[in-house]
Amino acid sequence: MPVKKVRIRFPNGKIKEYTFEGKKSVLDLVGDPEGGFVAKSDDKLFDLFVPIPEDVEFIDILDFNDKEGKEVFWHSSAHILAQAVKRLYPEAKLTVGPPIENGFFYDIDFGGKTLKPEDLKKIEEEAIRICSEDYKVRREEMSSENAKEFFKKMNEDYKVQLIEEFGLPVVSVYWQGEFVDLCRGPHIHRTGIVKSFKVLSVSSAYWKGDPKNPSLQRIYGISFPTQEQMEEYLNLLEEAKKRDHRVIGRELDLFGFYEEAGAGFVFWHPKGAIMRSIIEDYWKKEHINSGYQLVYTPHLLSGKLWEISGHLSYYSENMFVFEKDEQIYAVKPMNCPAHILIYKSKVRSYRDLPIRFCELGTVYRYELSGVLHGLMRVRGFTQDDAHIFAMPEQLEDEVRGVLNLMRKILRKFGFEDFEVELSIWDPDKSEKYMGTPDMWENAINSLKNALEKEGLEYAVEVGEAAFYGPKIDVKLKDALNRRWQCTTVQVDFNLPRRFEATYKGPDGKDHYTVMIHRAIFGSLERFLGVLIEHYAGDFPLWISPVQVRVIPIKDEINEYAYKVKSILEREGFRVEVDDRNERLNYKILDAEKHKIPYMLIVGKRERENGTVSIRKRKEGDKGVMRLEEFLEILKSEVS
């Protein structure tokens, strides 16, 4: 029997070499590695309890601190959740249970039963029991035919359907105690690794997201290797609740949703509209200064355009489509085809490129009602959209320009920390993608070079590119260290060919333009939601909807209060006067509640001296000064 050597790096960074004969698992060699629970070699994950693959010479043991390790931990926790459900509700039918950004969920068919809080509590208690019982996890492979028969006998109809859809000769299942689930893995090696488990909530879902399919219960959960991590997470959750943009938006009277108007459509109230307008004006100024040309395109376009783009064939279920005078029309779900029409309005030369069109374009998409969530997921939203038409050799510089502009704009709003992903094709599955290998190689290298020259660290996601080109996704981190997807830079090989978007090259021939889709905020609605939660509604002075509230002590001072307001407004500041017949302390508390940055208290003495008594939010009394001095403070803070 041949002797094999393998080097193993443990979560603490130590590396050990092992020599063995025959087939051994990592657990056979090292025992139970404290804290580690999944193996990785050459970007491939495998269970600690399965035989080490023949060609593997170096193994990393991952723990919860590793992104992939965390996903495996939460995926295994979804199995524990499902096991708890099956113990309590044997007739329930399982569908899928993936890890998500924070925790996991499992979609389950309860035969029409709607879970109540007391049901969730029972499921959580049973899951905790399963963790404490510390079942060993094992993997078994079955032929698809045997697996279908196996799950049919268990009345797991959805699992049978999944096996048929996979179309594989062999599938894998995972056992823990009496529980078994269809899964490709990998998983943790025993349930006792999960030391803290909590069921968070339940919502409705549809099988495969289609309302025509059976209704399911989606149970969300979270788990950790230590109780301390759970307590830290729950504290973060409490803080997140305090920052909920839906609650703050209502308290500050920024926006609203109205049942009569339909779900998922935002109404901006005056204060929210002011904030939005400030952000839009800043966005336009920065784009024009960066060589973009502002365009406006219609909200409603002929179905013929969407046939050319392919949206009617592949995206129509997410579009608002209707017929009028025997013509098909659609409310636009995106702006790109309209920008291409402007590009094609004249013959373009290589000397004209790059051309950068930008638009704050409102688009409409039919999102399922179950996924709508305040400003974060709506049916009508405004993309801070832009499309760059360039030659292949200009791609790298254009992407660098986008990344530079992204950092400048997002830093203006207080975001400094970013997480970047580069999604590329899987060259082993080239048949799934448009374009030639050379096109992909050139585009990917251009994106990589741009990221590296801009000093941005990034993770490469193989196989995650769209069929029509690679892309860069940038997630910003907020005050609670949560990640929000905002900026996207997407190369497109598809639409220029569908629309015959070309330019005359130096050789006098037509060449397809390289098209870059990009957005900095993603959508104004979502970005404002993120902004509200990042600042908990306590905005920087320059974007605060009301910057100053003047509070007269008595009615006889109202005239002076309005004079102060008028002077400040002439200098471009947003000011209110609180002349209600209320006590001074009440007015001050109300201004604090509404997160007004500055309060100016004015009485008889201030009127006589042409001064104001200043209070700053959260800092209190800042003294008395002449109005001209206060204006300089405001200007300095805004600049």
Q: What is the pLDDT of residue 1?
A: 61
Q: Which of 508, 500, 497, 435 is nearest to 465 (CA)?
A: 435
Max intra-chain CA distance, the chain: 101
Res 2 pLDDT > 80 = no
Q: Is 336 among the residues known to form the active site?
A: yes
Candidate list 339, 365, 448, 615, residue with the active-site label: 365
Q: What is the pTM of this model?
A: 0.85
What is the rounded CA–CA span in Å between residue 166 and residue 160? 10
Supply the DSSP symbol for 432: G
How does pLDDT run across 518-576, given as a tens digit for each residue?
A: 999 999 999 999 999 999 999 999 999 999 999 999 999 999 999 999 999 999 999 99
Q: Is 534 among the residues known to form the active site?
A: no
Is residue 435 within 8 A of residue 465, CB to CB? The reply is no
Res 252 pLDDT > 90 = yes
CATH fold for the domain made of 70-242:
Threonyl-tRNA Synthetase; Chain A, domain 2 (3.30.980)
Q: Is 131 among the residues known to form the active site?
A: no
Is residue 38 within 8 A of residue 8, CB to CB? The reply is no
Candidate list 387, 526, 549, 607, residue with the active-site label: 387
Q: What is the pLDDT of residue 228?
A: 96
Mean per-residue pLDDT, 94-106: 95
Res 428 pLDDT > 90 = no
Distances in Å between the Cα of 491 and the Cα atoms of 63, 356, 392, 398 are 35, 14, 11, 11
Distances in Å between the Cα of 155 and the Cα atoms of 84, 111, 152, 169, 455 are 17, 12, 5, 21, 54
Res 133 pLDDT > 80 = yes
Is residue 374 within 8 A of residue 532, CB to CB? The reply is no
For tokens 């404490």, the residue is 132
Strands 483-492 and 471-477: antiparallel
Strand partners, 484: 476
**Structure tokens, 502:** 């070309």
Mean pLDDT across the chain: 95
Res 121 pLDDT > 80 = yes
For residue 631, the SS3 value is helix
CA atoms within 13 A on the CB side of 413: 30
How does pLDDT run across 263-272, given as a tens digit for each residue?
A: 999 999 999 9
Q: What is the pLDDT of residue 637?
A: 92
How many CB atoms neighbour CB 415 within 10 A?
21
What is the rounded CA–CA span in Å between residue 63 and residue 51? 20
Residues 6 or more apart whose CB falls under 8 angstroms from that of 491 comprise 395, 443, 446, 447, 469, 470, 471, 514, 515, 516
Q: What is the pLDDT of residue 574?
A: 97
Helix axes 157-166, 144-153, angle to 10 degrees: 170
How many CB atoms neighbour CB 371 within 10 A?
12
Please name the CATH architecture into which domain 548-638 falls: 3-Layer(aba) Sandwich (3.40)
Q: What is the pLDDT of residue 240?
A: 92
Q: Please state which of the ranges 9-18, 204-213, 347-356 shows the lowest mean pLDDT.
A: 204-213
Domain 268-297+332-535 class in CATH = alpha beta
- For 362, phi then psi, to 5°, come to -80, 130
Q: What percent of the chain has pLDDT over 70?
A: 100
Distances in Å between the Cα of 522 and the Cα atoms of 474, 476, 527 are 10, 11, 7
Q: Is 517 among the residues known to form the active site?
A: yes
Distances in Å between the Cα of 382 and the Cα atoms of 331, 414, 510, 525 are 13, 21, 34, 7
Is residue 331 within 8 A of residue 300, CB to CB? The reply is yes
What is the rounded CA–CA span in Å between residue 560 and residue 131? 69
pLDDT band at 249 (very low <50, low <70, confident <90, very high): very high
Q: What is the pLDDT of residue 553?
A: 95
Res 405 pLDDT > 80 = yes
Higher-scoring residue by pLDDT: 112, 10: 10
Candidate list 189, 517, 526, 534, residue with the active-site label: 517
Candidate list 83, 176, 217, 383, residue with the active-site label: 383
Res 204 pLDDT > 70 = yes
CATH fold for the domain made of 3-62:
Ubiquitin-like (UB roll) (3.10.20)
What is the rounded CA–CA span in Å between residue 41 and residue 299? 50
Give domain limits for the chain: 3-62, 70-242, 268-297+332-535, 298-331, 548-638
Q: What percent of the chain has pLDDT over 90?
A: 90
Supply the DSSP symbol for 52: P
Is residue 547 within 8 A of residue 575, CB to CB? The reply is yes
What is the rounded CA–CA span in Å between residue 457 and residue 451? 7
Candidate list 245, 407, 471, 565, residue with the active-site label: 471
Candidate list 131, 336, 358, 486, residue with the active-site label: 336
Judge residue 102's burial from the number of C-beta atoms within 10 Å of its C-beta, 0-12 exposed, 13-18 middle, 19 or more buried.
middle
Q: Which of 180, 178, 179, 177 is nearest to 147 (CA)?
A: 180
Q: What is the pLDDT of residue 146?
A: 97
Q: What is the pLDDT of residue 430?
A: 85
What is the rounded CA–CA span in Å between residue 137 and residue 191? 7
Q: Is 293 among the residues known to form the active site?
A: no
**Structure tokens, 45:** 């994950």
Candidate list 109, 385, 473, 578, residue with the active-site label: 385
Q: What is the pLDDT of residue 434?
A: 87
Q: What is the CA radius of gyration of the chain?
A: 29
Q: Which of 636, 637, 568, 570 is nearest to 600 (CA)?
A: 568
